[in-house]
Amino acid sequence: MSVVLSKQDLREVTAFAAGCAEVVLAIFEADQPDDSRPRDAVGAAWEFARGGERGKVLRDTAWAALRAAKAAETAAACEAAMAAASAAYCIRWPRPPRSNTFSVRVPERPSGRTRRR
């Protein structure tokens, strides 16, 4: 199954992801106070969500936030940096050539299995 997202839809998804990541940035910053890479990734995600273009800055800040996650000393700080990386990486979902829509594969749950909580 795939879901087709317009650029505006993708901006909204990115805004949601950036908002979620912002909530937990303090956890990372308490662990690594001199490392701004996750905050930079969230900032780049917000820029796209507010009308900016997709591009190298988003990719670079997402990868930098992933490297920051590896440097974190606690699992919580690592997850916070991963949330920031995910926010910036939201925009990299595949796009069909010459199109303003994005196609995202959504894995289907196997039948008969329930979701754990």
Is 73 a domain residue? yes
- Cβ count within 10 A of residue 35: 19
Total number of domains constituting the chain: 1
Q: What are the pLDDT digits (tens) for 60-94? A: 999 999 999 999 999 999 999 999 999 998 765 54
Is 108 a domain residue? no
Q: What are the pLDDT digits (tens) for 97-116? A: 444 444 445 455 555 555 44
d(CA 65, CA 82): 7
Rg for the chain (alpha carbons), in Å? 15
Are the C-beta atoms of 62 and 91 separated by less than 8 Å? no
pTM: 0.76
Can you give the residue range of the structural domain that contains 29? Answer: 2-94
Is 110 a domain residue? no
Instruction: Give how far Cα 72 sits from Cα of 12, 42, 49, 83, Å.
Output: 29, 17, 27, 13
H-only helix segments in the chain = 7-31, 37-49, 56-71, 75-89
Are the C-beta atoms of 68 and 58 separated by less than 8 Å? no
